[in-house]
Amino acid sequence: MTFDREKASLDMIQAGRAFYQFGWLLGTSGNLSVRASDSTFLITASGKNKGELQTDDFLLCDLRAAPAEPTIHKPSAETLVHSLLYAADPKIGAIFHVHHLDAALCSTRDEAEGETVFEGLEMIKGLDIWDRERISVPIVPNHLEIPKLAEAILGAMTNVPSVMVLRHGFYAWGQNAFEARRHVETLAYLFSYAYRRPMS
């Protein structure tokens, strides 16, 4: 299948606008990418406001996180996380990373457990998980060195399509931009429920 750059950009522009308006991408935080081929992906350029993305705010990168085309843009430091995830799993078609406040709050509360647990919630199905009542998203330390961070995320991956970085934000992925967006929104709901749930 050939890569439709215009569609991929539009999908990220729309997802970015929605996530920004929900407050999950404040201060140019976060980054969004869509796979372009076995060895390349289109990703938001460093330092852009993700709620007001333009068609030319993206750049093509390779699996070592280097630009794969002539570009005026700088890839963000975290592009390497995207590279390693695309390299690790050929089924991943899109990766979205957001700075969701309730997720960050959960990560602090659940730091010792190393995971945030979601149980008995219908919304779990939004992750395309139909056979389990109880799932969790692993929490990894927020290493300053991006290669270490990327390794930690890779090492923590489970069959739940997300990893949370401590007091930072979560990565979520899917087979395409539509699915990655659904996963991000579903996780946003799950983390908000988990932080506000009544204590028994």
Rule CB under 8 A: is residue 90 a binding residue for its own copies? no
Rule CB under 8 A: is residue 37 a binding residue for its own copies? no
| Touching its own copies, residues 127-166 (CB under 8 A) | 142, 165-166
Nearest-approach distance from CB 114 to its own copies, in angstroms? 16
Rule CB under 8 A: is residue 27 a binding residue for its own copies? yes
- Amino acid sitting at position 25: L
For residues 82-121, one letter each, b for 16 or more C-beta atoms within 10 angstroms of the residue's C-beta and e for the rest, the string is: bbbbbeeeeebbbbbbbbbbbbbbbbeebeeeebbebeeb
- Give the burial class of 34: count Cβ atoms within 10 A of its Cβ; 0-12 exposed, 13-18 middle, 19 or more buried: buried
| Ramachandran assignment for 183, one of left (phi > 0), alpha (psi -120 to 50 degrees), beta (any other) | alpha
Rule CB under 8 A: is residue 116 a binding residue for its own copies? no
Which x/- pattern over 50-89 shows residues binding its own copies (rule: CB under 8 A)?
-xx-------------------------------------
Give the DSSP per-residue string, 34-66.
EEEETTEEEEEBTT--TTS--TTSEEEEETTS-
Rule CB under 8 A: is residue 18 a binding residue for its own copies? yes
State which residue, 84 or 103, has the beta carbon closest to its own copies: 103
Binding footprint of its own copies on the chain (CB under 8 A): 14, 18, 21-23, 26-29, 49, 51-52, 99, 101, 104-105, 108-109, 120-123, 126, 142, 165-169, 178, 181-186, 188-189, 192-193, 196-198
